[in-house]
Amino acid sequence: MNKYELALVVSAKIEDDARAAVVEKAKEYITRAGGTVTEVEEWGKKKLAYDIQHMSEGFYYFIQFDANTDVPAAVEQDVRIMDNVLRFLCVKKDEA
């Protein structure tokens, strides 16, 4: 199993419970694809480098998970169509 990190930028215009639901849905996608969520970091509201969908701020979340090599592609496919996710990036973490 490899270690991965999914970074999510979630819309700042939605309520706290809706934002939490977005993160829970992403975690559900990871577990359904066969991964194991190990940690979720919430960085809070940050200013974006440029406006995305007329928004200048977003909430940043980093979800670490262990999974086989085919899981990140499946997770990205699901996250890509989620409402209120402005940007996402899934990367393999170094073993160091």
* pLDDT value of position 94: 82
SS (H, E, C) 46-83: EEEEEEECCEEEEEEEEEEEEECCCHHHHHHHHHCCCC
Bridge partners (DSSP) listed for residue 42 = 61
- Which domains does the chain carry? 2-92 (3.30.70.60)
Say if residue 46's pLDDT is above 90: yes
* pLDDT value of position 96: 60
Q: Report pLDDT digits (tens) over 48-60.
A: 999 999 999 999 9
Q: Report pLDDT digits (tens) over 1-39.
A: 899 999 999 999 999 999 999 999 999 999 999 999 999
95 confidence band (pLDDT: 50, 70, 90): confident
Dist CA 90 CA 86 (whole Å): 14
